[in-house]
């Protein structure tokens, strides 16, 4: 699989976060920037940058004149909405044993609103993939991904779509998802959605309507996901600006 190497700051950030999750810092205290820089063999600036991001994500906090500490409440959220994880990883974080089922794959012409959002001509061919993420045969998340066919450069099989959509886009389209612009929409499940998710009709379901962008800020993907609130609660940290 083709993967872009993350920046040094991101690597340092991930490394420190992993140490935090493994409870490796005594008294929840993060070592000094200088110590971290020496331990990791990177510059203090890189460490500073990584810590600043962890702070803004609510993973750590600075106490003026005392030091930097792990922010335990910030680690409670298992499905952080402001981060893109594979849904398999999200389900695992909840202690579930995830499986994935590709419900259907079809091609359809882009409607004007879609074409506009994805920056392709009207009627351009769109690959539409519907997938279900399950925990022990129980559906938890339904996703529908819309990918401009023109981005896909290599032939693929339906089974190639079982991986996270960003991995599929990387491998078969050489497109690298950088971020989603996401809208959060509450919906009352239609009969068909309720049937797919195994919930009673008229259940409230959370949906995410998203446009995915690559590192050049070009739209490469439209996604719509539905989450069963009884099995998976999305959360995040909201900070003062």
Site string for its own copies, 2-21 (x = CB under 8 A): -------x----x-------
Burial class (CB in 10 A: 0-12, 13-18, 19+), 237: middle
Instruction: For tokens 């993060």, name the residue.
Output: 30
Instruction: For residue 199, give every residue at least 6 positions away whose Cβ sits within 8 Å of its Cβ, in sequence order, or none.
Output: 189, 205, 228, 230
Interatomic CA distance for residues 154 and 137, integer angstroms: 32
By the rule CB under 8 A, 113 interacts with its own copies: no
By the rule CB under 8 A, 166 interacts with its own copies: yes
By the rule CB under 8 A, 88 interacts with its own copies: no
Chain mean position to CA 131: 15
By the rule CB under 8 A, 211 interacts with its own copies: yes
Interatomic CA distance for residues 118 and 126, integer angstroms: 10
- Kindly indicate which of the ranges 35-43, 81-89, 105-113, 135-143 contains the residues binding its own copies, using the contact rule CB under 8 A: 81-89
For its own copies, how many residues bind (rule: CB under 8 A)? 57
By the rule CB under 8 A, 59 interacts with its own copies: no
72: phi then psi, degrees, rounded to nearest 5:
-55, -45
Chain residues binding its own copies by CB under 8 A are 9, 14, 45, 48-49, 52-53, 56-58, 61, 63, 71-74, 76-77, 81-85, 166, 177-188, 202-206, 210-211, 213, 215-217, 229, 233-241
């Amino acid at each position: 699989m083709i993967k872009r190497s993350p920046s040094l700051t991101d690597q340092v950030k991930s490394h420190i976060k992993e140490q935090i999750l493994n409870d490796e810092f005594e008294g929840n205290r993060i070592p000094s920037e200088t110590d971290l820089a020496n331990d990791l063999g990177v510059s203090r600036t890189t460490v500073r940058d990584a810590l600043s991001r962890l702070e803004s994500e609510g993973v750590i906090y600075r106490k003026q004149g005392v030091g930097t500490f792990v922010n335990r409440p910030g680690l409670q959220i298992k499905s952080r909405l402001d981060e893109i994880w594979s849904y398999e990883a999200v389900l695992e974080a909840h202690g579930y044993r995830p499986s994935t089922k590709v419900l259907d794959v079809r091609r359809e012409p882009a409607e004007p609103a879609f074409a506009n959002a994805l920056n392709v001509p009207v009627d351009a061919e769109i690959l539409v993939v519907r997938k279900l993420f399950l925990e022990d045969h129980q559906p938890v998340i339904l996703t529908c991904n819309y990918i401009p066919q023109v981005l896909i450069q290599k032939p693929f099989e339906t089974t190639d779509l079982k991986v996270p959509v960003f991995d599929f886009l990387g491998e078969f389209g050489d497109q690298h998802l950088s971020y989603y612009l996401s809208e959060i929409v509450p919906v009352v499940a239609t009969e068909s959605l309720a049937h797919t998710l195994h919930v009673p009709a008229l259940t409230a379901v959370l949906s995410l309507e998203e446009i995915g962008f690559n590192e050049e800020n070009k739209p490469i993907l439209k996604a719509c996901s539905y989450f069963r609130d009884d099995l998976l609660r999305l959360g995040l940290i909201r900070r003062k600006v």
